[in-house]
Amino acid sequence: MELIILVFLSSGLFLGWSLGSNDAANIFGTAVGSRMITFTTAAIICAVFVVLGAVFGGAGAAHGLGKLGAVNAIAGSFMVALSAAVTVYGMTKLGLPVSTTQAVVGGIIGWNLFGGFLTDMTTLSKIVSTWVLCPILGALFAAALYKGTIAFLNWAKFHMVRLDAIVRIALLLTGAFGAYSLGANNIGNVMGVFVSSSPFQDVSVAGLFTLTSIQQLFLVGGLAIAVGVFYSKPVMMTVGDSILPVSPVGAWVVVMAQSIVLFIFSSNALLSFWVGLGLPAYPLIPVSSSQAVIGAVIGIGLTHGLRGARQIKWRVLANIGSGWISTPVIAAAISFFFLFFLQNVFQQQVFQEVRYQLSAPVIAHLTEEGVEMGPFDDLRDAEIVSAIAFRDALRDRAGLSDAEEETVISSAEIYPMAVSPEKLATLDARYLGSDRASAVRALEAQSFDHKWQLREALTEASGAWRAKEPSPLTKAYNKTLGDHLDYLYRHLVRPDA
């Protein structure tokens, strides 16, 4: 393992620590604030289960932000993670619960701006929409759970001592589940930008099971999150007491509500069931547990009508809201500045130039896709650096629709890949599934200059790589297929190209 890899990986560890010191409040903040669980007990349980979630449930989440911007140099990954970590750390020092996802999104956008890369606005709009939807859903679920729970308790008439014991156990169990979900959902924010350059090798543990390279990477990141948990008390008290004092039952409701929100935005099975009922599909992307928790606390307060609304400390809430708005902006600015500093002072390559070319194979492919290529005759075989410059050249010559423009840009991108033995040795077969992984192995020793060429080769090798006809029932399947292709593009890229 090269020393420089460990140095660059340190920013991911710092981000993991920052996440633990901030987002652990979302799991046990209300339980600690209501004095039902001590901070030490909460921190230990949270630390253990967040590591388990990161190692055994984090594979899918690690590829969640790739479409927003594929950071293609490890020095750039270092700075994206560092800018997010610095932002979250600063907010933690202010006692404000913020979203690590927001900070990472800001860091990626800063990298896109610095390197002249296009930001996928469709993906960005979906992510931003969840920043609005999460607190609303958290409030709705919390209000419904709270009213239902209170009605049940009034009917059951538990003795106060027994009720106290039941609530404590419920808080511990729900907190453990919430911590597991936090690790599984957010390890992608912490270590996702390092997946394609993981310094670890698969290791067999006593011949019983194999700990993959990615799982080891997630283990290191999970441990960093776990260490940060023990520094989360200031933010826990903000969530647990400063917005609205909640009862022990309310504390359980808050944790359960935010866990439901995280599950909704991460479960393929639930999405398939949802669209099977004829309901509109929703995006499966990383969401903010911070926003879900704050919404849940507000939802409980509003169940008490005007009296509950008056108890909500709206000034504290306004401060938290300002943190949500400023977090991605600050992270983007820090990322842009740090990248400039790292490139020009330390002479590090923070991004690899991406070139675009309308070569004969690309033109033939686009013609088959139904794109009229006549207006671009003067661009044939010319290599253009940066997506923004290539997009501007296209717009100067023809009035392509947004969909056609996106197709031309993605097809013309020169993205050399090789299915080498070294790449196959570190392939995350468990993430892809056996059928798709076997199809990749069947392409050993082949090289590709464009992503669409690899996609077509995989489709010919196995029907498991074929997309299904678009419909509400196939949306989840096709999304997973797209995520697997994005992972392969990053994994098979030739670093010497």
Secondary structure of the chain in HEC code, one letter for each residue: CCHHHHHHHHHHHHHHHHHHHHHHHHHHHHHHHCCCCCHHHHHHHHHHHHHHHHHHHCCCHHHCCCCCCCCCCHHHHHHHHHHHHHHHHHHHHCCCCCCHHHHHHHHHHHHHHHHCCCCCHHHHHHHHHHHHHHHHHHHHHHHHHHHHHHHHHHHHCCCHHHHHHHHHHHHHHHHHHHHHHHHHHHHHHHHHHHHHHCCCCCEEECCCEEECHHHHHHHHHHHHHHHHHCCCHHHHHHHHHHCCCCCHHHHHHHHHHHHHHHHHCCCHHHHHHHHHCCCCCCCCCCCCHHHHHHHHHHHHHHCCHHHHHHHCCHHHHHHHHHHHHHHHHHHHHHHHHHHHHHHHHCCCCCCCCCEEEECHHHHHHHHHCCCCCHHHHHHECCEEECHHHHHHHHHHHCCCCHHHHHHHHHHHECCCEECCHHHHHCCCHHHHCHHHHHHHHCCCCCEECCHHHHHHHHHHHCHHHCCCCCCCCCHHHHHHHHHHHHHHHHHHECCCC
Question: Greatest CA separation found in the chain?
Answer: 83
Q: Where are the domains of the chain?
A: 3-345, 355-412, 417-492
Express each pLDDT in 408-424 by its tens digit. Answer: 999 999 999 999 998 89
For residue 89 the two structure tokens come to: 């750390």
What value does the mean pLDDT of the chain take? Answer: 83
Confidence at residue 204, expressed as pLDDT on a 0 to 100 scale: 64
Residue 311 and residue 289: Cα distance in Å, rounded?
A: 23
Express each pLDDT in 300-312 by its tens digit. Answer: 888 877 666 666 7
Average pLDDT over residues 443-470: 94
Residue 84 and residue 82: Cα distance in Å, rounded?
A: 5
Is residue 496 very low, low, confident or very high in pLDDT (cuts 50, 70, 90)?
Answer: low
Is residue 360 very low, low, confident or very high in pLDDT (cuts 50, 70, 90)?
Answer: very high
The percentage of the chain sitting over the pLDDT mark of 70, rounded to a whole number, equals: 85
307-316 long-range contacts (CB < 8 A, ≥24 apart) are 308/244, 311/244, 311/245, 312/243, 312/244, 313/242, 313/243, 313/244, 316/238, 316/242, 316/243
Residue 17 and residue 402: Cα distance in Å, rounded?
A: 41
Average pLDDT over residues 96-124: 85
> Which of these, 409, 412, 413, 419, lies nearest to 491 by C-alpha position?
419
Is residue 454 very low, low, confident or very high in pLDDT (cuts 50, 70, 90)?
Answer: very high
Rg over CA atoms, the chain = 24
For the whole prediction, is pTM greater than 0.75?
yes
Which amino acid does the sequence have at 104? V
Pair 141, 257: CB distance under 8 Å: yes
Pair 358, 376: CB distance under 8 Å: yes
Token pair 């290791």 in the structure block, residue:
203
Handedness of CA 29, 30, 34, 37 (dihedral sign): negative
CA distances from 350 to 80, 83, 199 (A): 10, 14, 18
Express each pLDDT in 274-332 by its tens digit. Answer: 777 777 777 666 677 778 888 888 888 888 776 666 667 677 677 777 888 899 999 99
